[in-house]
Structure 1
């Protein structure tokens, strides 16, 4: 039984890693697509927007289906969908095809996140969920690094179409899960821990059924919007901002990416630990206030070394918090709506937070670096205020009521 649980944990974490791996292919190949198809920057940017809306739709649909019919089954389907849609980009020769395929890939990716977190929550003790959620987040960072390495080899030699063929890699996870982890064995494993059968039917209405729950759900979505908006601002604009203001050649280089992703990964691991030990209010309070300070202090960077160090530090706080959402959502809501709750919170954050790049671009046009950093800083302070209104965050530990649902 324990072996089966470990396999589920590994499958969920590796699946999330391949999710980020294949999504990063788009960012890394976008300049090549622009040149190859002769499209404008606006058209290129719309590809990411369409992908984000696909994620929102996929999160809503697959979150419901997973909680109703079983997370393990739908986990394999979402991996299969975004894998085939990504690999099919090999045949794309026009923008219409790209839009359709990226929308489908977004649907699969958006569905996968919440299902993977739900699987982790079902086989992980509540007291260790922060740490496990951190591992899940770090897997995504590792996926980004592998994507960058693969792109550096394939793009100059074979072109962007061949890079997307590697979207078939998640099929290996599907095969592994299919042949090594079974629904009936996992259900028996849960029963052996004193769980009982529950018959609740999943419904998005349950996330808003009382004023308290509605405020909690909306508050978490707001925090996720700020979280993901800050991430896009950091990864998409900060190197360019520093290059324009200071003329630092390191901006946009692989060295910048590695230092920032390393900071993010360490931040996630640290955040997961303190979340398990001190609870969400202390953990998010510390990181939100630190993020508000760190992004503003980044304007003091004057040389390349300071930029690398500052990027790692900002990444540590700004994206370290991402590791906590899967853990706290899984603890705040009943198991039979885990996939829906996780997907709703994160994918609303992705869909709306993704517009952060547009907002920052506008602020750069009408203001300066200080204007942008002030905007980001106040965003984190606003998230801190909203976080403090979530009364359940005051609890240092959550108790998960034993339940047995379809896995």
Structure 2
């Protein structure tokens, strides 16, 4: 494929192409913002991690924070699409290439697998790689947000939905179909019991437990093994569509799974937990009604005090490595969202939510910031990138270092 100009064309929050140079610059900027915590010690074994969902959002931030701050080796798994004659590769494809290059230059042993995390064949491929290169792992970070899952036991494909439960829900949201984002109200029909069950199948804890079982069966869990699945609770403002809805039912199942896994791992001194992270602009979050408006209002209240996925991931590794004491709630969940759910913050966001109207949305919500963050998900709006220059979209998947 020859070089060409790549522009941010698309519909609403969904862009058709991604910019390779922009994606690379984002990864390098994240890398530079992380301060190494410990110097390398010659001959000392470094911790090994498997990150399932490693190419975007919190999963990618977890890889970068772990590698840069603590010199962690390991394997990242994601599901990305290469370039075609009509389209660039997905942003996660380019971000993975950049992450692999930085890890290699830092002398870290990281491999990245591109495949369906739900498939037995993918699990076997990843476990073979872990066994060959490391012989065992210390950490499993599970960060999967998927629209569908084919159950390997039944062959049936389940589709997740984003709907309230019990009753329909009317909410304010941002309409991005026009030239400028606009405030509007929408009605969301309730999900059925079948849709609830399907969403749990996709986004709940079943696949996470299958990963732990597979690692256990292969004898790859090292003493003190810790696994964390990333979760979200969010504000009362978004609860009807999120925490009290189909997605929330899946998150509740994820947290119940953590309790079961935690008991199962006690024999090796292991531990399983969920990490409740704060709000962020991700490709998954832009699909949820009302979330774009809520996060824009949150940014309007907090400004630069909004904690990025990278900042929260650095904190997560500080907790998992014992540098900081674990911050757990009464349900045994790691809480990285206290900055968001601070009562004073939520009070101010609620005031803005209730007051926001078409004529005031630009004053109360930081829509420009949110829109720019969405474009950055695809490698656009990144300072220091020359978007008028042609780029080569056809880039090979990184191969493990020998």
Q: Into which bin does the TM-score normalised by the smaller protein fall?
A: under 0.3
Between Structure 1 and Structure 2, which shows a larger proportion of helix residues? 1
| TM-score, with structure 2 as normaliser | 0.27
User: Larger RCO: Structure 1 or Structure 2 (Cα < 8 Å, ≥ 6 residues apart)?
Assistant: 1
| TM-score, with structure 1 as normaliser | 0.27
